[in-house]
Amino acid sequence: MKKEKNIKENSQFSTLHSPLKEGWELKKLGEVADVEYGYTDKSTEKGHFRYVRITDIDSNGELIATEKKYIQFSEEAKNFLIEKNDLLMARTGATFAKVLLFNDVEPSVFASYLIRIKFKVEFENKLYWYFSKSKSYWEQANKLQTGAAQPHFNGAALKKIEFAFPKSLTEQQRIVAYLDQTFKSIENAKLKIEKNLQNAKELFETELRNVFENKGDDWEEKSLGEVAEYDKTPNKRNDLLYVGLEDIESNTGRFIGSENQKLVKSTTFFFNENHILYGRLRPYLNKVLLPNFEGHCSTEIFPILPKNKLVKREYLFWWLISNNTMNKINETWTGAVLPRANMNTVLNFKLFVPNLQTQQEIVAKLDALKTQTQQLESVYQTKLNNIEELYSGILKRAFETQLTEA
């Protein structure tokens, strides 16, 4: 039977009363490593050393290769040069507690909002980098951080992080080699799934583009203003559902708001099942809705009323939500900080309009293809979610299960 070692009763580790496997120990980071704050200097576009900042660490704990900043040479700066395999942790901001394993060859200095972790014992740094991606690490980091709007995770808090690891450097390296190989295989599978997901989306968008670019013999070219009007009827009722921009999902036309009635003090527009709702604020978000209910909407939404004898509402919806139309609108918006579609300009946009029967056939085809595409996207998204769970499970087995009985 393997020897076991009980965890200290004051441990903050998630598996508080579990025994350690033989050859493993549980330590606070401060017991086995020193922490060092980075260097403060004014960065420039050119210089002697790259200046690695917290914004240079991405959400995966990798070094971002673009938007580099530099500092000039100084004897003091040399003390903060980063060595290969150094561990750097962001102590504030959106990437707080993210750990970077430095593998770049460019001479670099780390900035003051980063903390360097230097082990005082024989240790494979990449093992800690993997640990910093685990649920156990983040449970502790979130408890130890301070600050509400802007989280802070300083050196004192970092030293309290507890983690289990094998005392043998050879065993540490074996685990790292296993994780490297396993995650490489998973990443390759993830890339294939993401490519399939993108292909599914592009397949539908290609079909959508072909519909509106390749007109038939009897199709007429009309301006949007000839086949529809911008209906700004003020709402006077208080028993209707409210639709704001936040209630329309980008690029899908899906309603994601509440089905409860809502009173709004400001002016709103009335709409019903005959309208199309087009979000004019930040048109690049591509928010278009086919409502199947009466309601009232924000004035940042244009209720568009199709002329039924000329165009079907569903046909016009697919034209509005297509990437081609969105891109044209994006080229003509007004406002730098809060861009808005200029509806007078949009009403002059041209589109090809077939007869109503052909429109109905096109809509049926697009609806069916969209349903198939959404089913494929759902399958691929489920696979991606499963991969994320697999990541977590592997890290759990690598670190936390070492605290369970053999």
Residues 255, 154 within the same domain? no
Total number of domains constituting the chain: 2
> Domain of 151: which CATH number?
3.90.220.20
Residues 13, 149 within the same domain? yes
Note every long-range contact of 391-398, with CB atoms under 8 Å and residues 24 or more positions apart, other chains counting. 391/133, 391/183, 391/186, 392/134, 392/135, 394/179, 394/182, 394/183, 394/186, 395/130, 395/131, 395/133, 395/134, 395/135, 395/179, 396/134, 396/135, 396/136, 398/130, 398/134, 398/175, 398/178, 398/179
Domain-ending residue, one of 148, 167, 186: 167
Q: Which domain holds residue 31?
A: 5-167
Residues 140, 235 within the same domain? no
pLDDT in tens, the chain (406 residues): 444 444 444 455 444 435 778 889 999 999 999 999 999 999 999 999 999 999 999 988 899 999 999 999 999 999 999 999 999 999 998 888 999 999 999 999 999 999 999 999 999 999 999 999 999 999 999 999 987 778 889 999 999 999 999 999 999 999 999 999 999 999 999 999 999 989 988 889 899 999 988 888 889 999 999 999 999 999 999 889 999 999 999 999 999 998 887 778 889 999 999 999 999 999 999 999 999 999 999 999 999 999 989 999 999 999 999 999 999 999 988 888 899 999 899 999 999 999 999 999 999 999 999 999 989 989 998 998 898 889 888 988 888 765 443 3
